[in-house]
Amino acid sequence: MIDINELLSVLPHRYPMLLVDRILEINEEGTYCRGLKNVTMNEPFFQGHYPGNPIMPGVLIIESMAQVGAACLMKNPSLAGRIPLIGSIEEVKFRRMVKPGDQLIHEIKILWVKGGVGKMDAQATVDGELAAKMTMLFKLSVPNKE
């Protein structure tokens, strides 16, 4: 399990763009993990995304899944110092609205990593019900040190 403090050490994201609260499970190879995002009414996007009937934007669900995948990858010592960036997103499906009070559970499978690119499958569920799923290609980038 990886808590928020360790996530802050492996992910470059910060509030309000850090969309992962905890990694619940990760295998030794860094090819499978499950992560958690608590969706609260305090999220800044709810002020303008359907006031009176707040719904988490789909692009932020995608970003949250991508961040769990990034945390999974960053646990692999051979990828240390590289940041995964979204290259393309395929086969995105949204099946359920995500509202304040929901707990998003992301399940990520890293399909392959070759050189500086890779591919992963991801899904997000709420109470065991599929909320969203996608396949994502990513590029591993070395951050600027200016």
Please tell me what DSSP assigns to residue 71: H
Of 55 and 13, the structure prediction assigns the larger pLDDT to: 55
Share of the chain above pLDDT 90, in %: 65
pLDDT tens digit sequence for 102-113: 999 999 999 999
CB 126 within 8 A of CB 104: yes
List 13, 49, 82, 109, catalytic entry: 49
49: annotated active-site residue: yes
**One CATH from 1.10.3720.10, 3.40.640.10, 3.60.70.12, 3.10.129.10 for 4-141:** 3.10.129.10
CB 18 within 8 A of CB 7: yes
Please tell me the pTM assigned to this model.
0.92
Instruction: Indicate the domain borders of the chain.
Output: 4-141
Bridge partners (DSSP) listed for residue 125 = 105, 130
* CB neighbourhood size of 19 (10 A): 24
pLDDT tens digit sequence for 52-103: 899 999 999 999 999 999 999 887 888 877 889 999 999 999 999 999 999 9
CB 138 within 8 A of CB 87: yes
pLDDT at 146: 44
Question: Cβ neighbours of residue 113 under 8 Å, at least 6 residues apart?
Answer: 73, 79, 140
